[in-house]
């Protein structure tokens, strides 16, 4: 059974810092990996999707990497802003995408103005 | 990307009653999933909603408690039956189109009194 772990569970940093969120998974036979953002009281917003054949994806100030063999992914946020404050969730897909996603517990990020 | 409308956004229900949650998508999608997010926890997959047939349930979830319908490729309902306080959670609909990222509705926040 796939298990996804995210470290740290919470992080508070001053505005402007670059930061890294970590995600690890136990079964390397994944189909894809997705990073989401969840704001309080709201649904999930997809940030980046990495297919199993890819090593990284970038969107604006966000960069996500994937190392399938070691079961790790990182989300890099450059020049953090207070608006980046949210919970960031890592989720792993298997079964060709038809099996849904297995989620980590998330990293609660606070960017101090 | 698909636009997902989930209703109701929140509800307060009495113990022993049932709540039906609707998920409407603005385009035909390949897969529809239902997730639960218990307080302070990450998301757990309840089931895959299959068009025109019985849903596929994950371990720990049963049809009698969580009946699901998917009459067509754009609509699904999840019913949470015989409610108890332990069912207080956020329930989220998600959809998958081909190799696109998994997209989520805004969720239904259920409180059972």
Q: How confident is the model at residue A92 (pLDDT cuts 50, 70, 90)?
A: very high
Return mean pLDDT, chain B: 93
Report the C-alpha gap between A77 and A17 in whole angstroms: 8
Using an 8 Å CB-CB cutoff, list chain B residues near A100. 33, 35, 45, 48, 58, 94
Which of B34, B35, B42, B109 to mutate to test binding with chain A, by most A CBs within 10 Å of its CB?
A: B42
| Residue A15: predicted pLDDT | 97
| Residue B97: predicted pLDDT | 83
A91 and B48 in contact by Cβ < 8 A?
no
Q: What is the pLDDT of residues B71-105, one digit of tens each?
A: 999 999 999 999 999 999 999 999 988 778 889 99
Q: Is pLDDT at B61 greater than 90 in this prediction?
A: yes
Q: How confident is the model at residue A67 (pLDDT cuts 50, 70, 90)?
A: very high
Report the C-alpha gap between A101 and A61 in whole angstroms: 25
Using an 8 Å CB-CB cutoff, list chain A residues near B99. 51, 97
| Residue B99: predicted pLDDT | 74
| Residue A68: predicted pLDDT | 94
| Residue B25: predicted pLDDT | 96
Mean pLDDT, residues A50-79 taken together: 96
Q: Is pLDDT at B16 greater than 90 in this prediction?
A: yes
- Omega cis (within 30) before A13: no
Return mean pLDDT, chain A: 93
- Residue A45: is it exposed, middle or buried by C-beta count within 10 angstroms (0-12/13-18/19+)? middle
Mean pLDDT, residues B62-70 taken together: 97
| Residue B100: predicted pLDDT | 80
| Residue B58: predicted pLDDT | 93
Report the C-alpha gap between B30 and A42 in whole angstroms: 24
Q: What are phi and psi of B61, to 5 degrees?
A: -120, 135
Determine the residue of chain A that is closest to B92 in CA distance: A43
Which of A42, A43, A48, A95 to mutate to test binding with chain B, by most B CBs within 10 Å of its CB?
A: A43
Q: Is pLDDT at A1 greater than 90 in this prediction?
A: no
């Amino acid at each position: 059974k796939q298990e996804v772990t995210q470290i740290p569970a919470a992080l508070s940093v001053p505005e402007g810092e670059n930061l890294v969120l970590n995600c690890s998974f136990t079964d390397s036979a994944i189909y894809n990996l997705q990073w989401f953002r969840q704001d309080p009281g709201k649904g999930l917003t997809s940030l980046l999707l990495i297919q199993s054949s890819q090593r990284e994806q970038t969107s604006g100030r966000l960069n996500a990497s994937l190392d399938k063999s070691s079961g790790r992914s990182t989300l890099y946020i450059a020049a953090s802003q207070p608006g980046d404050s949210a919970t960031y969730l890592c989720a792993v897909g298997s079964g060709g995408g038809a099996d849904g996603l297995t989620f980590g517990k998330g990293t609660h990020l606070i960017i101090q103005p | 990307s698909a636009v997902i409308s989930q209703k109701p956004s929140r509800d307060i229900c009495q113990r022993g009653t049932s709540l039906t949650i609707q998920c409407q998508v603005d385009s035909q999608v390949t897969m529809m999933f239902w997730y639960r997010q218990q307080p302070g926890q990450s998301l757990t997959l309840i089931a895959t909603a299959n068009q025109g047939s019985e849903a596929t349930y994950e371990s720990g979830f049963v049809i009698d408690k969580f009946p699901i319908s998917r009459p067509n490729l754009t609509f699904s309902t999840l019913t949470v039956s015989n409610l108890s306080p332990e069912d207080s959670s956020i329930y989220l609909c998600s959809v998958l189109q081909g190799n696109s990222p998994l997209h989520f509705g805004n969720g239904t926040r259920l409180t059972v009194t």
